[in-house]
Amino acid sequence: MAEIPTKVPYGTLRALLTPVLLLAFRPKVKGLRHVPATGPCILASNHLSFSDSVFMPLVVPRKVTYLAKAEYFNSPGVKGFIQKLTFIALGQVPVDRSGGRRSEAALLTGLKILAEGDCLGIYPEGTRSPDGRLYKGRTGIARLAMESGAPVIPVAMFNTHEIQPTGKLVPNIKRVKMQFGEPMYFSGDSTDMNTLRDVTDEIMRKIQSMSGQEYVDMYATKRKSEIAEEE
């Protein structure tokens, strides 16, 4: 298989994909005015499908950079090839989020993006929901918000798990919906775990109120492990 170019023009891909998105998936978007036109901001969204990272950035007027799992860039086969090409073209940054120093490096990458005045996309749950419910948020988002001073824009995605279920390469044609909430600002001691937990929970409550999802007070990764053991 031919080597994927290391950089595909973001504007070119956006120009190609946006008409397809508009015609095929007829996005219904609310609250887009809450996304600032300039300056650092954090788009914090629920995560139902791989396609969340495609649909949402294409309706936001400015470029959105995600800290994508490194596995998305290393998956084998045709699906992996398409996945890697799409993520590179959309300007996504591969990071190792497996824990410890690697997760710390991912946070530093996020802070660098925000320090440059850019828009950072993040899924506080850390991974896709295994069953459509909203799971406990990781506290990295609280650190990013508190240490950068950037506003957090809560985002609720709808229908994407039906449009592209986990493992499905070709999406179903169905209307995609999303809602952007008012900016949330946070300050305080980013080294205090109780503060980080409180801030993260506040963000998750806002996302839950917008999405209407059932909330589960456990990490999605743990639930995925339980499901794997049950099979």
The structure tokens listed for 69 are: 């799992």
Q: What gap in Å lies between CA 202 and CA 211, rounded to an integer? A: 14
Residues of the chain with pLDDT under 50: 1-7
The pLDDT value recorded for residue 140 is 93
Domains of the chain, first to last: 26-230 (3.40.1130.10)
The H-or-E segment that residue 82 falls in is helix 77-89
pLDDT tens digits, one per residue of 156-188: 999 998 888 776 667 778 889 999 999 999 999
Whole-structure pTM value: 0.85
200 within 8 A of 138, measured Cβ to Cβ: yes
CA distance 28 to 164: 17
Residue 171, pLDDT score? 76
